[in-house]
A and B are shown apart, each in its own frame.
Chain A
Amino acid sequence: MGRYVIRRLLQALLTLGIVLFLLHYLMALSVQIRGNPATLFFGGERTPDAAMLAQVERLYGLDNKCYERVGDPCLTPFVDRLQQYVTGDLGTTLNGNRDVAQLLGIYIPNTLRLFIFATITLVAVSMVLGTWAARHRGSFIDHTVRGTTILADSVPVFLILLSYVYIVAVPLTRWARGIWGTESFMGQVFRPNYNPDYPWTTIIIPGIIVGTVGLATMTRLIRAAQLENLGSDFVRTAKAKGLKPLRITVVHVIRNSMIPIITGVGFLFAFMLSGAVLTEGVMGIPGMGRMIFEAVQRQEANLVIVGLSVSAVVVVFVSVIVDLLYAAFDPRIRYE
């Protein structure tokens, strides 16, 4: 088992190495194609004179000649950047010269909070719907569940968010505040925008909405697993052993459908990270998704590379955890 984990981690390191290089290459391409981001340093409302520009370029390592030739992978700046990251200095941003590590400290917790609520909603809702649909296979309920989950997936998540913010959030907040007062949990939870003073409360609703991303996939996975288990021989044996239906469902059926849930969460994790970009945009949450989006627009190389590498590490970490959970849940799976 240990050897497997080491092998997986080595593979992960290799993947991350490639990801880092790919991101660096894309940012180099961006500088080569879109021109020099150094002007951002001056707030960009007037072209700084060439000399100051050259000074700032050296500060950010943009003065290497490779940035003039389109397509040149700029290996030396890549090595410098790696050395810089290895020593723990994640570089600073062009606009406002802020330290990237400090920014991550602000952004990562916000996105994590969003994900916690999203994952809970996704697993809970799909578990209930999946089991319910499997229980009433082929009946009217089965079709409505399938229909609604597909509908939930067909509506882009940012449209659900926008309609929530524009139509529902404001009257709901006012109504809630009328009853429970502004400072109360209810007064804050429906707010249309994220508020740094209530980091947990104002992120519940966006989390739940992001949780609906991938609901159809998850419900289908669970329904299929439940169907397979419900019709399986060991459930028939369990019945023959005179166990109560509830115990059969919990001990035998749900336990066996944990595997697809883990696969689902592992698969949807990267999918949800995409959802975060829009959710954080609409709800004004200063999170990873939004930060990376703006950094890409502003050619903030350090922010983009570190941001995406962090999300890459998280995704890789999640996939290794998923594999280990497989082994934990299913004794038949053994890794050497």
Chain B
Amino acid sequence: MKRMRMTVAALAAASMTVATAACAGDESDVGGEGGGDAIVNMQIGDVRSLVPGGSGESEGFRIIKNVYDGLVYYNRETGEPENLAAEEISSADNQTWTIKIKEGLTFQNGEPVNADAFIRSWDRSAYAPNVLPLNYFFATIEGYDAMNPEPKPEDTWADPEVPEYDPVETTHLSGLTAVDDLTIEVKLSAPFLGFPTMLGYEAFYPIAQACLDDLDACEKKPIGNGPFMFEEEYDIESGGSVVRWEDYKGSMPAQIDGVNWKVYLAGDDCWADFLTGDIDVCRPTAADYESAMNDEDLTTRLIQQEDPSILMLSFPLYDPKYQDVNLRRAISMAIDREGVLNVVGPERFYPLDTFVPGSILGGGQGTCGEYCTYDPEGAKDLLAQAGGWPEGEKLRIWVNDANDNVDIFRAIGDSIAQSLGIEYELVPMEWTDYLPARENHQLDGPFRNGWSPDYNLNENYLEPIYGGGAATNDMGYENAEYDAKIAAAGAASTLDEAVALYQEAEAILAADMPSAPVFGEKFNYFYTDRLENVYVHPIYSGPGGDCELREVTVK
């Protein structure tokens, strides 16, 4: 089962500009008097699509989640899915789920939000020829394989007339049935108790029929069912603005009159515009952060929260040199995490000593223990036990050169080389070469690895990364006992029981140390003094600066 990491954190590909944006349209005055134009100015990056199922990257989702209402919404504090458009979601055997939709909900163009609206959207994403990024989210639902046939044998691709796929007739997932106008019954191919937690994500949002009829127009001016509505078109190059939808009947209405998004292209940052008051929420770069911290007024308007994304130094277990666990532990202990933080900016990360971060349900067990503390002497002993480092050979650290990854891993490399007294060499690669090389096990040294949550459950950090044969298991880690524990947890009857079992699996993992947790990310957003009730959602927030647009108010 393929999983995809939501690109919330900085591991986005070079092609995906994780940028920040400022507002477009007329900015309200710095003072921001209340009344008619309580407009919030936000930054935004490169949006790929505004129709549910077509985006799959953080910037597009930030707009979609405010213009649409999904079945559930993840509570800001607990992260639990709470019903939004859904009345009730229930299942007896974790395999067949019934979803009831609330009465009287409509789209902004008047169409009803009913079972068909959701089924139409899910069918569109699951249909292979549409080539949509979130297509595989529906792999768990019966009938998915019929809509996504295996490609024809490789050799037939050479001649251009013969298509790579057989034409796909079935356009509807067999597992989906509309029991009545407001109820959907979903049959999964295998029991999965985490299914309701997935329903809050973009893939499962409804689409209006008018939108499907004219997709291009819908891309520019989406027809949603959320509290904000597009009046003019959204321009991918410079941004766009939305206004409050007056007759929104959902349970999470907007408190402000509208939002302006301004696009910041790759590498730009919104900090300068934040200081002049043209942007209301912005995340400073490392240097700007330090100067911002000495400004008392600014520090009163700082939101600092742990971001569930994590950064790891993974080891190529398929490489003979890295079989001995002591070598891996020695390298982990040789990393002076505080020292590296001092280099890359102390406020951006926090040293991580566990495989599942604390902000995730069931995480924060500190399973890495003493092997994640800086102890040069201990590291040298472990290295000796593991047979020492071959003379003259350099420790090659592989890293993709997006954002400032090279700087971070250079600092890590310095720290390891200093502590163990060995030489190291950075191998920067472009994302489109790095990803395949990593997945095809072609790396001959520790490499950068990161993960962001798809949903709020510690399983999401264990099975996809370390599960036997999992697509994103790039370390080549195989442990039957570990896989068995994961499977048992999957079949547990209650959530708490499952969480406990997953924690036992994490303990097994820690003993093998296939990768060394290095940092958990922290985000620091500053907001202008005209805003109040500024909250940041722990799981879904744009890296450049974001806040819950449904809760924020203007003084």
Contacts and interface: CB of A to CB of B under 8 A. Distances in A.
A81 interface: no
Interface string A44-76: 111101111011001000010000000000000
Contacts, number: 119
Contacts of B345: none
A51 B265 contact: no
A197 B276 contact: no
B164 A54 contact: yes
Contacts of A52: 131, 164
Contact of B272 (A37, A40, A54, A169): A169
Interface string B256-282: 000000101111100011011110000
Contacts of B238: 196, 286
A45 B264 contact: no
B436 A197 contact: no
Interface in B410-464: 430-433, 435-436, 439
B151 interface: yes
A91 interface: no
Interface string A271-290: 00000000001001010001
Contact of B273 (A34, A45, A49, A192): A192
Contact of A47 (B131, B278, B435): B435
Interface string B119-147: 00000000000010100000000000000
User: Interface majority SS on B: helix, strand, loop or mixed?
Assistant: loop
A78 interface: no
B25 interface: yes
B162 to A, nearest CB: 11
Given A39-B432, A44-B14, A191-B273, A177 B48 contact: no
A92 interface: no
B16 interface: yes
A113 interface: no
B4 A46 contact: yes
A284 B272 CA distance: 11
Nearest to A191: B276
B154 interface: yes
Contact of B433 (A34, A166, A174): A34
A105 to B, nearest CB: 10
Interface residues of A, number: 48
Contacts of A43: 13, 15-16, 48, 56-57, 133
B160 interface: yes
A106 B267 CA distance: 19
Contacts of B12: 45
A182 interface: yes
B71 interface: no
Interface string B468-510: 0000000000000000000000000000000000000000000
B15 A51 contact: no
Nearest to B435: A47
A193 B433 contact: no
B545 to A, nearest CB: 14
A245 interface: no
Interface string A159-179: 000000110011001100100
A156 B368 CA distance: 48
A45 B16 contact: yes
A286 B27 contact: no
Nearest to A297: B14
A197 B26 contact: yes
A39 B433 CA distance: 10
18 contacts: A34-B433, A35-B433, A45-B5, A49-B151, A52-B164, A170-B275, A174-B30, A174-B275, A177-B276, A181-B29, A182-B277, A183-B26, A192-B272, A197-B24, A197-B25, A281-B267, A284-B268, A286-B237
